C-alpha cells in the first residue's frame, strides 16, 4: 500500500511537469548540490552542469574526437607555453549577452584567484598561469610549462564574466542555483527538482523543450514510474531493477562509462581504530559476499557480475589495479579475533572492549547510496554487531557529507561511500596527508612517499608501478576497507531517440536527443 502511495506521489509530480511531448523528465541520484561548475562535487552536479554550460574542448562520445563547440580556431603559441584561441561569433549566454574572450579569461582568472576555494580550480592552477584578451573573440591562455597536448587539458566549463562582481567566486552565490551558461539548457535548481529550458543558440539546437531532473527515491518506484511512462529515464539503475527494465521493449538499458568503487572509510584518528590491527580485524569481519548479495543482489558465482570485489582504490580493469593484492570475499572471524586481542582489546560478554569500555562504532553512509545498494548500512552494522561491536548507524545527507564528513569534522568511525572517476583515476587527494578529499585526515609517510613517486614519475611504467605499490600499501594500512566496483547502467524509454551517453559527463551529446511522437 505504501508503495502504491509512493508511486502515485511520484507519478503525480511527473504528470504535473510532463505535459508537452518534448519535455523529458528523469530521475537522478540526487538533486545537484551546486550548478556552479567550480563547485561540482557529485556526479549529479557534473551531469546537470553539462546541460547548462559549454566546455572549452570535449571528446565526442562516439569517436572520442577532440572537439569544441565554442572555439573556431586555435594555434599553439609561445613555443608550447600558450594556446591562442578564437571563439565562434554569435554565441549568446542565457542572459542574452554575447560570449567573448573576456568570459574565457574571466573563467581562468576566477580559477586562479586564491579567493575562489574551488577544488576543481585548484588543479588548473597547477599548469595555467594566465589569460590575455587579444580581441573580442581572441584570447591567449598561458601555461606554466610546455604542454604537449594543451587542448586535451582545457576541458573546463566557461563562466560568464557579466554574472560576477569579482574573480573571487564563492560557492554560496545565487549563481549556484540559477546559473547562466551557453549550454543547450537554461537551468534553475529548486528544492525537489531542477528544471532546464531549451536555449537555442548558434552552436546548440536542442530538440527537447524542457529537461526535468527529479531526485530518484525508492528504486522500485523509479522503475514502475519509468515503465508507466511517467518519467522517461533513470540515470542510475541499481542491479536488482535491471532485469525488470530489460524485460520491457519500451525501455533501453544504456551503459554509462563511469569507474566507480565503493568503500568504508575508517577514522584512523579515533580510539582503537588508530591501531592498524584493529582496522585489519574490521576488514576480516566483513563478509563481502553476503553484503553484496543482500544489498545489490549479486550472488558469489554470478557470471559477468556488474559488481566485483576490489582490494584497493581502483577497479580491477584499471592499469593501476594491483592484481597481486587479494580480495577478501568472506569473513575470517577467528583471525579478526586474534588481531583484536593482539591490539589489546578484550571480549567481555560477547562485546569488544578497549581500556575497559565497550567499543561503539558510529557508522554512516551517504544517504542516496541506499538506493543503489539498499540496506548496505544495516548489513554492515549487522556484521559488526555479530562480531562483537556495538554500533550506531545514520544516513548522511549530501549537505552533512559536504560540510562535515569531507571537511574532516565529523565524529563517525566508519563511513560508507562511493567514488567515481573518468579517464583520470588519480587518488592522491584521497590518501595524501594533505589531500583535499582525505576525509579523516589519514596520515602515512609511506603513502605520501608513494604518492610523490607517482607525481614525479617520468614514464607511464613508473607511474603505474607507483600506484601498484600504493594499492599494496593501502591494503596494509587500511584507511579504507575496500568493497567493490559497481557498473553503472541507465534506462531510457524508447521514445527518447538519439540518446547518446558520454563517458563520465553523460549529457555532452544532448543536442542529438529527441522525443518521438
Partner 1 sequence: MNRWFTITWIGLAVGAFSCDNPPQNKGDGARVHVAIDAALLTKSWPVRMAANAVRARFEGHAGWGAVFDHELDEALVAFADSGDQRGLARVHQGLADLYRQAALLSANATVEAYGVDAAATDPQEMGYVIAVSHAIRGETDQAKKAFEQSLDGPVFGVRAKAWADALKRHSTLPDLETLMGISGDLGPVSPGTEPPVLDTPDAEIAERSEQGRLMAIVDPSRFLARAAWHEAAAVASAPATDAGVLKQISARYATSRPAEKTHLELSLDDGWLFAASDLNAADVSFIAEAKGAGLVAVGRWSDRSILAAALAPSINESKLDPQLVLDAGFALQKQIQALMADVGGGEMGFHRPFAQRARIAVLMAGMIVADANDQYRDAGILRLNALERMDQLGVDPVFAISVAAWDAGNRSPMRPEEIIHQFKSSYPALVATRAPLEALHLRRSRHAGPSNPVH
Of 426, 443, 448, 449, the one binding partner 1 (CB under 8 A) is 426
Helix runs in 148-237, H state only: 150-153, 219-227
Question: Binding residues for partner 1, how many (CB under 8 A)?
Answer: 82
Which of 202, 154, 160, 254 has its CA nearest to residue 506? 254
Judged by beta carbon, residue 199 or residue 261, the one nearer partner 1 is: 261
Residues 149 and 83 sit within 8 Å (Cβ to Cβ): no
Q: Is 399 in the site for partner 1 (CB under 8 A)?
A: no
Distance in Å, CB of 41 to partner 1, minimum:
7
Q: Is 329 in the site for partner 1 (CB under 8 A)?
A: no
Q: Is 265 in the site for partner 1 (CB under 8 A)?
A: no
Which of 306, 314, 298 has its CA nearest to residue 261? 314
Of 80, 90, 319, 408, the one binding partner 1 (CB under 8 A) is 319
d(CA 184, CA 516): 19
Residues 383 and 290 sit within 8 Å (Cβ to Cβ): yes
Residue with cell 579517464: 423
Of 26, 156, 309, 480, the one binding partner 1 (CB under 8 A) is 156
Burial of 19 (0-12, 13-18, 19+ CB in 10 A): exposed
Buried b (16+ CB within 10 A) or exposed e, 159-173: bbbebbeebebbbeb
Judged by beta carbon, residue 121 or residue 361, the one nearer partner 1 is: 121
Q: Is 172 in the site for partner 1 (CB under 8 A)?
A: no
Stretch that binds partner 1, among 133-141, 154-162, 189-197, 202-210 (CB under 8 A): 154-162
Q: Is 403 in the site for partner 1 (CB under 8 A)?
A: no
DSSP assigned state of 177: T
Distance in Å, CB of 504 to partner 1, minimum:
8
SS3 content of the chain, % helix, strand, coil (to 5): 35, 25, 40
Contacts with partner 1 in 481-510 (CB under 8 A)? 493-495, 497-498, 500, 503
Of 239, 417, 470, 471, the one binding partner 1 (CB under 8 A) is 417
Distance of alpha carbon 94 from its chain centroid, rounded?
27
Contacts with partner 1 in 437-456 (CB under 8 A)? 437
Q: Is 353 in the site for partner 1 (CB under 8 A)?
A: no
Q: Is 136 in the site for partner 1 (CB under 8 A)?
A: no
Q: Is 460 in the site for partner 1 (CB under 8 A)?
A: yes
Q: Is 71 in the site for partner 1 (CB under 8 A)?
A: no
What are the CA-CA distances from residue 217 to residues 124, 184, 368, 492 (Å)?
A: 35, 27, 8, 17
Contacts of 40 (CB under 8 A, 6+ apart): 34, 46, 49, 120
Q: Is 317 in the site for partner 1 (CB under 8 A)?
A: yes
Stretch that binds partner 1, among 71-79, 121-129, 194-202, 275-283 (CB under 8 A): 121-129
Of 223, 268, 393, 488, the one binding partner 1 (CB under 8 A) is 223
Contact string 275-314 vs partner 1 (x = CB under 8 A): -----------------------------x----------
Q: Is 324 in the site for partner 1 (CB under 8 A)?
A: no
Judged by beta carbon, residue 162 or residue 207, the one nearer partner 1 is: 207
Q: How many residues does the chain have?
A: 517
Judged by beta carbon, residue 144 or residue 228, the one nearer partner 1 is: 228
Buried b (16+ CB within 10 A) or exposed e, 392-408: ebeebebebbbebbbee
Amino acid at each position: 500500500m505504501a508503495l502504491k502511495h509512493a508511486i502515485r506521489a511520484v507519478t503525480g509530480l511527473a504528470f504535473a511537469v510532463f505535459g508537452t511531448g518534448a519535455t523529458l523528465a528523469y530521475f537522478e541520484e540526487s538533486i545537484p548540490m551546486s550548478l556552479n561548475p567550480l563547485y561540482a562535487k557529485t556526479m549529479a552536479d557534473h551531469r546537470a552542469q553539462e546541460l547548462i554550460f559549454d566546455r572549452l574542448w570535449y571528446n565526442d562520445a562516439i569517436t572520442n574526437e577532440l572537439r569544441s563547440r565554442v572555439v573556431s580556431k586555435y594555434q599553439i603559441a609561445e613555443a608550447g607555453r600558450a594556446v591562442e584561441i578564437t571563439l565562434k561569433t554569435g554565441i549568446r549566454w542565457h542572459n542574452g549577452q554575447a560570449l567573448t574572450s573576456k568570459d574565457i579569461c574571466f573563467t581562468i582568472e576566477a580559477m586562479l584567484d586564491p579567493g575562489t576555494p574551488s577544488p576543481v580550480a585548484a588543479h588548473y592552477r597547477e599548469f595555467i598561469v594566465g589569460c590575455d584578451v587579444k580581441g573580442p573573440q581572441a584570447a591567449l591562455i598561458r601555461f606554466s610549462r610546455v604542454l604537449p597536448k594543451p587542448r586535451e587539458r582545457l576541458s573546463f566549463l566557461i563562466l560568464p564574466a557579466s554574472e560576477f562582481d569579482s574573480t573571487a567566486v564563492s560557492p554560496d552565490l545565487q549563481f549556484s542555483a540559477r546559473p547562466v551558461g551557453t549550454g543547450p539548457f537554461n537551468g534553475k535548481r529548486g528544492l525537489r527538482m531542477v528544471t532546464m529550458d531549451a536555449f537555442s543558440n548558434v552552436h546548440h539546437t536542442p530538440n527537447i523543450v524542457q529537461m526535468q531532473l527529479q531526485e530518484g527515491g525508492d528504486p522500485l518506484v523509479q522503475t514502475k514510474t519509468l515503465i508507466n511512462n511517467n518519467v522517461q529515464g533513470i540515470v542510475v539503475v541499481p542491479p536488482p531493477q535491471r532485469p525488470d527494465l530489460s524485460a520491457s521493449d519500451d525501455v533501453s538499458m544504456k551503459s554509462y562509462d563511469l569507474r566507480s568503487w565503493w568503500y568504508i572509510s575508517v577514522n584512523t584518528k579515533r580510539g582503537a581504530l588508530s591501531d592498524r590491527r584493529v582496522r585489519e580485524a574490521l576488514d576480516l569481519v566483513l563478509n563481502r559476499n553476503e553484503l553484496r548479495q543482500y544489498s545489490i543482489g549479486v550472488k558469489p558465482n554470478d557470471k559477468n557480475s556488474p559488481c566485483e570485489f576490489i582490494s584497493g582504490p581502483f577497479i580491477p580493469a584499471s592499469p593501476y589495479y594491483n592484481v597481486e593484492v587479494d580480495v577478501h570475499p568472506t569473513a575470517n572471524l577467528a583471525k579478526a579475533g586474534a588481531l583484536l586481542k593482539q591490539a589489546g582489546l578484550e571480549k567481555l560478554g560477547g562485546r569488544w572492549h578497549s581500556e575497559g569500555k565497550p567499543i561503539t562504532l558510529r557508522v554512516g553512509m551517504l544517504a542516496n547510496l541506499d538506493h543503489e545498494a539498499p540496506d548496505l548500512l544495516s548489513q554492515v552494522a549487522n556484521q559488526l554487531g555479530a562480531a562483537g561491536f556495538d554500533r550506531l548507524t545514520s544516513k548522511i545527507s549530501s549537505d552533512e557529507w559536504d560540510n562535515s564528513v569531507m571537511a574532516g569534522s565529523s565524529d563517525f568511525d566508519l563511513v560508507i561511500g562511493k567514488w567515481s572517476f573518468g579517464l583520470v583515476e588519480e587518488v592522491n587527494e584521497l590518501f595524501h596527508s594533505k589531500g583535499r578529499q582525505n576525509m579523516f585526515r589519514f596520515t602515512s609517510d609511506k603513502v605520501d612517499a608513494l604518492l610523490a613517486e607517482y607525481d614525479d614519475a617520468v614514464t607511464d611504467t613508473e607511474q603505474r608501478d607507483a600506484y601498484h605499490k600504493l594499492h599494496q600499501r593501502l591494503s596494509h594500512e587500511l584507511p579504507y576497507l575496500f568493497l567493490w566496483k559497481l557498473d553503472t547502467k541507465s534506462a531510457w524509454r524508447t521514445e527518447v531517440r538519439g540518446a547518446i551517453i558520454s563517458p563520465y559527463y553523460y549529457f555532452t551529446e544532448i543536442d542529438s536527443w529527441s522525443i518521438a511522437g
